[in-house]
Amino acid sequence: MKQPKIAQKTPYVIDEKAGKKYWCACGESKNQPYCDGSHQGSDFVPIEVELTEDKKVAWCGCKHSKSGAFCDGTHSKL
């Protein structure tokens, strides 16, 4: 499988409202960190995240986190 494009080497820290979000897994979206459909025709699919409450989220920007859509610090090793 192809490696995702590194969108940025820091997380996207955003105050989010509760609800469904679709995190871009391919790194090609023009609407980072959210999916805009740029993965079409590739092996990548967005990751659906259901937030049950309003909170600050550190979305993975490097697309290599072992925690899926959430930053785990992997960007510091790239």
Q: Would residue 22 count as lying in a domain?
A: yes
Residue 77 lies in a domain: no
pLDDT tens for residues 38-60? 999 999 999 999 999 999 999 99
Is 41 contained in some domain? yes
CA angle centred on 36, ends 60 and 32, rounded to 5°? 30
- Report whether pLDDT(1) > 90: no
Residue 34 falls inside a structural domain: yes
26 in a domain, yes or no? yes
Centre a 10 Å sphere on the Cβ of residue 73 and count the other Cβ atoms it contains.
Answer: 13
Number of domains in the chain: 1
Residue-number span of the structural domain to which 48 is assigned:
12-69
- Specify if 6 maps to a domain: no
Report, as an integer, the average pLDDT of 62-67: 96
Question: Do the domain assignments include residue 76?
Answer: no
Classify residue 2 by its DSSP letter: P
Alpha-helix runs per DSSP H in the chain: none
User: Does pTM surpass 0.85?
Assistant: yes
